[in-house]
Homo-oligomer: A and B are copies of this chain.
């Protein structure tokens, strides 16, 4: 068997696992944004019928998981594994979604990169024959994130110009061995990069160097360039982080702008919706991938996508202790064809 390993930090999926189905839900603000019609479900009441914001997040995960399974015509007990995680302390959004479901479950913490990390591990598991089908699942919620990472909503804190808005949303994808695709071709696993940014309200600047390093490694390992993709998307760098990635590539003489977008910029009309630099959170890239992007791939409007989840690996406590912000980015190539 030829090794799946490529270059410094990439590997190829020789069996090209297929995305059997995908599903997304989002909140009121996201429904009012430019991608509002691409989500499977949106809710005006962002409690999703639950008593607390954290339970609302679990409810969103339940909804996308059940929808994705339904679309793939799979029962829960036909899933061989789930790769799940979220932003809540101890990842309780995911753990409470998966309890008593009889699905072998791997818990992840990749901050806002979780959709890419979970998709990558699901593809690795299916490609290697460990699983016949595997779920990738994540979420975030504006209100649960605000109170955990920043301030209680009732406090009415002011935001700085570089701040982003945590997306209320969830995404799920089921990966399997066969099907009509889109297919997962390869992945690049990110190293953790700390660029020395200490402002927890400037995640874009903290994460941009990690995004650059992973995309750069991806091109080097796989011998590709921006022109080989219809679209390269990062998860939630926002307007400032997007510009920094473009600048970093420009220093290498690579013009990436034309093919490159950021889910955090796509999901909101930043000015009209008053979200400063754009959207953020695991649910940002998850709901954009499992709604708009994979939808466009099914419609053959996008043929080859490099999906790059980005995550800032800080905690409120590390910020209080004067630490800078480590970040990570994982990338997965998704294609409508098997090669």
**Residue pair B313, A104 in contact (C-beta under 8 Å):** no
Across-interface contacts of A95 in B (CB, < 8 A)? 192, 313, 326, 328
A153 within 8 A of B: no
A81 within 8 A of B: yes
How would residues 113 to 147 of chain A score, 1 for a CB under 8 Å from any chain B CB and 0 otherwise?
A: 00001000100110111111000000000000000
Across-interface contacts of A124 in B (CB, < 8 A)? 124-125, 128, 130
With beta carbons under 8 angstroms apart, the residue of B5, B8, B107, B314 that contacts A328 is B107
Contacts known (A5-B80, A5-B129, A129-B3); A314 close to B106, Cβ less than 8 A: no
Counted per complex, copies of this chain come to 2
Question: Smallest Cβ distance from A210 to chain B, in angstroms?
Answer: 10
Across-interface contacts of A54 in B (CB, < 8 A)? 317-318, 321
A303 within 8 A of B: no
Question: Smallest Cβ distance from A128 to chain B, in angstroms?
Answer: 4
**Residue pair B189, A104 in contact (C-beta under 8 Å):** yes
- Binding-face segment, A30-38, A82-90, A160-168, A279-287: A82-90
Question: Smallest Cβ distance from A115 to chain B, in angstroms?
Answer: 13
How would residues 1 to 26 of chain A score, 1 for a CB under 8 Å from any chain B CB and 0 otherwise?
A: 11111001101000000000000000
Question: Smallest Cβ distance from A144 to chain B, in angstroms?
Answer: 9
- Bound-state CA distance A104–B101 (Å) is 31
How many residues of chain A have a CB within 8 Å of chain B? 63
Contacts known (A5-B129, A128-B4); A192 close to B92, Cβ less than 8 A: no
Interface residues of A in 274-328 (CB under 8 A from B): 311, 313-318, 321, 323, 326, 328
**Residue pair B11, A130 in contact (C-beta under 8 Å):** yes
**Residue pair B92, A313 in contact (C-beta under 8 Å):** yes
8 contacts between A and B (CB under 8 A): A5-B129, A52-B321, A99-B194, A100-B193, A101-B192, A105-B191, A107-B109, A127-B128
Binding site for B on A (CB under 8 A): 1-5, 8-9, 11, 51-52, 54-55, 80-81, 85, 88-92, 95-96, 98-111, 117, 121, 124-125, 127-132, 189-194, 311, 313-318, 321, 323, 326, 328
